[in-house]
Structure 1
Amino acid sequence: MKSSEVKFQNHFKLDVPFKDIIIFESELEKYGIQYYYEENEPFISDGVKYFLLDSDREKIDQLLLRNDLIASTETIHVSDYREERKIQKLYLKTLLIAVLIILIVSIIVSL
């Protein structure tokens, strides 16, 4: 339940990546957890900043674990290593293809 009152009570902030917003919000609604959010500028952040009540902290921790969601606080930024791994694999494939092309061209030129 979206409520601006959350900002004026004891709360904490949680940054949720854009790719996880739908699941996160549906779980918050499912368990009746009050929240408020501010959309960050797309070029500044990768997600949405949620204001959540301190009293719901344990429920939210369980919600994140159950749904395998990545979220971070303002002080501790958490990276989604699964996404970084995909980028590293793409980089290695590109590097391998470039090396193979250079080898093939050098063999053709030397003939």
Structure 2
Amino acid sequence: MITKLSIYVNQEAYTYKRSFASAYKKMRRRKHMAARKIAFVDEAQCVACGSCIKVCPRGAIAVPNGITAVVDEEKCVGCGICAKACPASVISSREKQSENKRG
């Protein structure tokens, strides 16, 4: 079973080149888990160069019809690699909007 903790440990280990043991320790020290982050593309500024597609380890980004980059929220783990690779600096990490808001 994949848990939220295991996703964050894998993300931490992959992004920062840490061992899984040290990443697990770091994540367990946190009092609470942060909200899940995903990549966000400013569509008005995106030039559809495709740099983000090449570096995304999960294949979560596409450029349909060559207009602008689109992020698949189900595949994106919020690692930030695409934001670093974007030459136009139009990709940022934001908290994923929750569909199940209680009110």
TM-score by length of 2: 0.31
Structure 1 length normalisation: TM-score?
0.30
Report the structure number with the largest CA radius of gyration: 1
Which structure features the higher share of helix residues? 1
